[in-house]
Amino acid sequence: MKKIIILVVAALLIVAYFALDLHRYLTLDGLKASLGQFETWRAASPLLVALAFFSVYVLVTALSLPGAAVMTLAAGALFGLLEGTVIVSFASSIGATLAFLVSRFVLRDVVQQRFGDRLKAINDGVAREGAFYLFTLRLVPLFPFFLINILMGLTPIRTRTFYWVSQLGMLAGTLVYVNAGTQLAKLTSLSGILSPGLLLSFALLGIFPLLAKHFMDFLQRRRVYAKWQRPKQFDRNLIVIGAGAAGLVTSYIAAAVKAKVTLIEAHKMGGDCLNYGCVPSKAIIKSARIAHQMRHGEHYGLENTTPAFSFRKVMARVHEVIRTVEPHDSVERYTELGVEVLQGYARIVDPWTVEVKLNSGEIQRLTTRSIVIATGAQPFVPPLPGLDDVGYVTSDTLWDEFAKLDAPPARLVVLGGGPIGCELAQSFARLGSQVTQVEKCTRIMVREDEEVSDLARDSLTRDGVAVLTGHTALRCEREGERKFIVVEHGGIEQRIEFDALLCAVGRVARLTGYGLEDLGIETKRTVATNDYLETLYPNIYAAGDVAGPYQFTHIAAHQAWYTAVNALFGDFKKFKVDYSVVPWATFIEPEVARVGLNEQDAKEKGIAYEVTKYGIDDLDRAIADGNAYGFVKVLTVPGKDKILGVTIVGEHAGDLLAEFVLAIKHGLGLNKILGTIHTYPTMAEANKYVAGEWKRAHAPQRVLAWLSRYHAWRRG
């Protein structure tokens, strides 16, 4: 409503301006004709005239009316160079800021909602260098004054910055015009005020700060190298530290484009994903799931059976799966691909030198043009008193430690309600452990919408997990062989006895012990990088969990492309890493998969959205498979089929998501998904049906009413 009032008032004032033909005063001839009158008024009450002039100037600029240039001349003619410049400088800046604010208030939300993703690059640029761009635009009077006000209002630049940069940037132009106004009688046209030479000087002056900034950046980058001795030549084009997803893909790409690349791994090829993460966790999830299905055989018309199994064999299968995948990431494979693989611990000695302590004990120093840090992350162990005394496992140690057990731990406490904690809590509960999951937040899987967290909690609870949300772990205690964790909830302490404790409260980037400290590479939870994944040293890059902001294998691999290409070809062209479409999944049952915005993100960011939901309980294939649960929830731009984000809960949600990932990435809307044949009967049909739900909700009711009449008429 407020927006409408503002628009109406502005429109009325603009109409009045033209209807009353006030513009005639704001032409060069009009000004010359009425100058005598103004001077008489000014002689009678100088302050009043100055104030009135100031107010009219503010109004003209705030309403983006034509005539500001003539008013600036008038200021020179009426008030002289100094006073005129002061009046115009403040009036024009205040007027411009008002126009800017009106544009921001009335238009910005609409524009950002509609074109937000396409404007992202501009928004980012303005957030970083907006003051410089504005200064340039202000100094060069070729850019229309009113347009700059309106356009800048649509960007995230701060009002204060807009005001002072505008005032500073317009000062030179104001001076020229006010000065010309002091010689008003000699002026025959407005176009003569700015000669081509003067325009060029303004343009140069305008781009100078931007150039100066880039030059300063260049100097600063040079300065970081100043204390290091650059080798005359390099043994290699690229050294990659760490052979997890990020390091493997980086070196693969480098070798594919014939660079000389060395990959150094201190521990196991394949890193966390293969050895401690995705692969073993998915293997145990499968065994646990089969055990669960056996227990619920009746659901499929079979007998319920208590699965008889050897836990040792389950864990042996986990290791067998790792062994089967291992060759994909092996030294042999990468050597064959053209990568030199060294097994040892790497330390960056200077921006071009890496020292490797090989597993054989030998130490080698290698020089390289570029380095990629892909050292990953490790489980965070909370500083709980008594934790070391009772002992614990993390995702790093669990697979070996539990492989020694004959049976799953009878009582398992899982600390953490994130994806890893949930996947493992459910799996061990299904394998027979009595699992208690402790989570500090009020719900598990907090990054997802509340209804998703609720479904996950219900499912875990059904499987026998005691999900304690809002519970803070305080300390661990031991009484002889008995082990306890003390948790607090609502001021009340509770003691939980356990046989094994799994810490799954997050993973922290590996940042120390390999040279970052000596090189002064900034680390705040992760290695600090810019959009090109460059660290403080433009020839040292970081990718994967160590760089953040996501901790997924597919993001590590995605970043790897950028680090490899930027490191090897960055002198010609650099690419900014693109996180615009990031999917992920949590492999509990029901599986939870997401890409783009969910409702809580959209609300947090103030992005308007519409929700369309399709219940998978209605899907033929899901019913036949006994998996009739979950939903596909799509957020779209209001009134449009453009997809903002998708959450899928249900069987194979991670696989179903792929269609939406492709759609968002390539700008395909729900109409396109609806118009695509989906095989019957598959779970993927859920994607088409949700698009159908959207279409039904947006059916043109008026047209349908007319069609109904038309058909009635045809029937006679």
Contact between residue 509 and residue 545 where contact means Cβ atoms under 8 Å apart: yes
Q: Is 334 in the site for ligand FAD (CB under 6 A)?
A: no
Residue from 122, 171, 224, 278 binding ligand FAD (CB under 6 A): 278
Residue from 346, 564, 643, 673 binding ligand FAD (CB under 6 A): 346
Q: Is 246 in the site for ligand FAD (CB under 6 A)?
A: yes
Pairwise CA distance, residues 350 & 220, whole Å = 17
Q: Is 112 in the site for ligand FAD (CB under 6 A)?
A: no
The least CB distance from residue 391 to ligand FAD, in Å, is 19
Pairwise CA distance, residues 568 & 561, whole Å = 11
Cβ distance to ligand FAD smaller for residue 134 or 318: 318
Contact between residue 448 and residue 592 where contact means Cβ atoms under 8 Å apart: yes
Contact between residue 424 and residue 504 where contact means Cβ atoms under 8 Å apart: yes
State the number of binding residues for ligand FAD (CB under 6 A).
Answer: 38
Cβ distance to ligand FAD smaller for residue 355 or 450: 355
The tokens describing 688, both together, are: 């088409």
Residue from 244, 408, 615, 645 binding ligand FAD (CB under 6 A): 244
Pairwise CA distance, residues 442 & 638, whole Å = 31
Q: Candidates 320-328, 369-377, 636-644, 677-685 — which segment interacts with ligand FAD by CB under 6 A?
A: 369-377
Q: Is 22 in the site for ligand FAD (CB under 6 A)?
A: no
The least CB distance from residue 8 to ligand FAD, in Å, is 53
Strands across the sheet with 610-615, in order?
A: 583-586, 592-596, 643-649, 631-636, 610-615
Residue type present at position 710? Y
Contact between residue 549 and residue 252 where contact means Cβ atoms under 8 Å apart: no
Cβ distance to ligand FAD smaller for residue 430 or 510: 510
Contact letters (x/-) for ligand FAD, 418-457, by CB under 6 A?
--x-------------------------------------
CA-CA-CA-CA dihedral for 443, 444, 449, 450, to nearest 10: -30
- Phi, psi angle pair for 516, to nearest 5°: -60, -40
Q: Which residues make Cβ contacts (< 8 Å) with residue 231, sequence separation at least 6?
A: 352, 353, 367
How many other β-carbons are positioned within 10 Å of the β-carbon of residue 577?
A: 18
Contact between residue 271 and residue 245 where contact means Cβ atoms under 8 Å apart: yes
Q: What is residue 275's three-state secondary structure?
A: helix
How many other β-carbons are positioned within 10 Å of the β-carbon of residue 131?
A: 20
The least CB distance from residue 113 to ligand FAD, in Å, is 31
The least CB distance from residue 698 to ligand FAD, in Å, is 35
Cβ distance to ligand FAD smaller for residue 396 or 450: 396
Helix H or strand E segment including 333:
helix 331-337
Contact between residue 159 and residue 97 where contact means Cβ atoms under 8 Å apart: yes
Cβ distance to ligand FAD smaller for residue 589 or 685: 589
Residue from 292, 510, 633, 642 binding ligand FAD (CB under 6 A): 510
The tokens describing 588, both together, are: 């509990």
Q: Candidates 5-13, 116-124, 236-244, 525-533 — which segment interacts with ligand FAD by CB under 6 A?
A: 236-244
Q: Is 514 in the site for ligand FAD (CB under 6 A)?
A: yes
What's the chain's length in residues?
716
Q: Is 245 in the site for ligand FAD (CB under 6 A)?
A: yes
Q: Is 253 in the site for ligand FAD (CB under 6 A)?
A: no
Touching ligand FAD, residues 402-421 (CB under 6 A): 420
The DSSP 8-state label assigned to residue 107 in this structure reads I
Q: Is 374 in the site for ligand FAD (CB under 6 A)?
A: yes
Contact letters (x/-) for ligand FAD, 549-588, by CB under 6 A?
--xxxx-x------------------------------x-
Q: Candidates 160-168, 196-204, 238-246, 327-335 — which segment interacts with ligand FAD by CB under 6 A?
A: 238-246
The tokens describing 415, both together, are: 């600390």
Q: Candidates 68-76, 269-277, 489-497, 677-685 — which segment interacts with ligand FAD by CB under 6 A?
A: 269-277
CA end-to-end distance (rounded Å), the chain: 48
The DSSP 8-state label assigned to residue 31 in this structure reads H
325 sits in the region (left: phi over 0; alpha: psi -120 to 50; else beta) called alpha
Q: Is 395 in the site for ligand FAD (CB under 6 A)?
A: yes
Task: Identify the CA nearest to 542 among candidates 516, 580, 513.
Answer: 516
Contact between residue 641 and residue 581 where contact means Cβ atoms under 8 Å apart: no
Q: Is 242 in the site for ligand FAD (CB under 6 A)?
A: yes
Q: Candidates 212-220, 245-253, 469-477, 673-681 — which segment interacts with ligand FAD by CB under 6 A?
A: 245-253
Q: Candidates 2-10, 268-276, 301-309, 639-647 — which segment interacts with ligand FAD by CB under 6 A?
A: 268-276
The least CB distance from residue 359 to ligand FAD, in Å, is 11
For 238-248, letters b (16+ CB in 10 Å) and e give bbbbbbbbbbb
Residue from 31, 91, 96, 241 binding ligand FAD (CB under 6 A): 241
The least CB distance from residue 683 to ligand FAD, in Å, is 19
Residue from 267, 295, 317, 695 binding ligand FAD (CB under 6 A): 267
Residue from 95, 206, 277, 583 binding ligand FAD (CB under 6 A): 277
Q: Is 266 in the site for ligand FAD (CB under 6 A)?
A: yes
Strands 363-373 and 472-479: unpaired
Binding site for ligand FAD (CB under 6 A): 241-247, 264-268, 271-273, 276-278, 281, 345-346, 374-377, 395, 420, 510, 514, 544-546, 551-554, 556, 587
